[in-house]
Amino acid sequence: MAVRNVSLEVGAGEVLALIGPSGAGKSTLIRCINRLVEPTRGSITLKGEELTTLRGQALRHTRRRIGMIFQEHALVDRLTVMENVLSGQLGYTGFWRSQLRRFPQTVVNRAFELLERVGISEHVDKRADQLSGGQRQRVGIARALLQDPEFLLVDEPTASLDPKTSRQIMRLLLELADEHGLSAIINIHDVPLAQMFVSRIVGLNQGEIVFDGPTGELTSEVLTRIYGEEDWAPQREEGEDTTA
């Protein structure tokens, strides 16, 4: 079992970072929330609504409310940037309409707005596989936001990006979550990056929560509890604040 006995509550508008070693169950945990992975037992509620028992259309309607941003961005490579962003609206659109790419004008306007907001408005009709890593992740963010979500699940958003781009993407994510009043869980294994941007940290080890508290309490002793014995000193060095 990848995750067990986990109890986690995220307040409205709250953003938390989920850290832990590879295989700790971070990805599984957030995938249980929008049911890309089926939890075997337990309960997950979004604004009081139980999610674990949903099926069919009810499940799809709930998934619309939960935007997801992926490691390696998970764009459909052979579709254009615009098509990728518009796919965020699939849950609101009929099959033929989406297949013929005839989305309502309001949706198209909103997609253009979001592309502009994340800073890639000049690449609208490029195929997704022609973009750089950072640009692709921006498209991934725009896709999630076009769902008009109440909640964001973010799975290792910076795993394939260089340090500078990682910081830009994290900053963009946090700004957007703030602008739209979104709650978010961000899986991340770059601890200093999490400390830079997020005020609440949850540590997962072998499927169990071993730490849940404000970023300031993340001491070497806590990191050892999450990741195991290691010399954590270099991570406390100054020099993380090279603003881009």
Partner 1 sequence: MTASADRRWRPPPFIRNPWLRWGTLLASLAYLYLAFSSLNINWDRVQQGWSRAQTLFSGFLTPDFVSRTSAIQTGILESLTMTVIATVLGVLISVPFAFGAARNVSPLPVYLFSRAVIVISRSFQEIVIAIFFVVMVGFGPLAGTLTLAFATIGFLGKLLAEAIEDIDPQQLEAIRATGASWFQVMGYAVVPQIKSRFVGLSLYRFDINFRESSVLGLVGAGGIGATLNTSISRYEYSTTAAIILLIVVTVLILEYASGFVRARLQ
Q: Can you give the binding site for partner 1, defined by CB under 8 A?
A: 34, 36, 60-64, 66, 68, 70, 72, 74-79, 83, 87-93, 95, 98-99, 140, 143, 147, 153
If the CB atoms of residues 87 and 166 are measured against partner 1, the closer one turns out to be 87
If the CB atoms of residues 71 and 215 are measured against partner 1, the closer one turns out to be 71
Evaluate the CA torsion angle 96, 145, 211, 194 in order and state its sign: positive
If the CB atoms of residues 184 and 223 are measured against partner 1, the closer one turns out to be 184
The CB-of-225 to partner 1 minimum distance in angstroms stands at 31
The CB-of-229 to partner 1 minimum distance in angstroms stands at 33
The CB-of-177 to partner 1 minimum distance in angstroms stands at 17
Integer-rounded Cα Rg, in Å, for the chain is 18
If the CB atoms of residues 97 and 200 are measured against partner 1, the closer one turns out to be 97
The CB-of-171 to partner 1 minimum distance in angstroms stands at 23
The CB-of-81 to partner 1 minimum distance in angstroms stands at 13
Q: What angle do CA 146, 158, 222 make, to 5 degrees?
A: 120
If the CB atoms of residues 22 and 242 are measured against partner 1, the closer one turns out to be 22
If the CB atoms of residues 2 and 210 are measured against partner 1, the closer one turns out to be 2
The CB-of-173 to partner 1 minimum distance in angstroms stands at 16
The count of other CB atoms within 10 Å of the CB of residue 107 is: 17
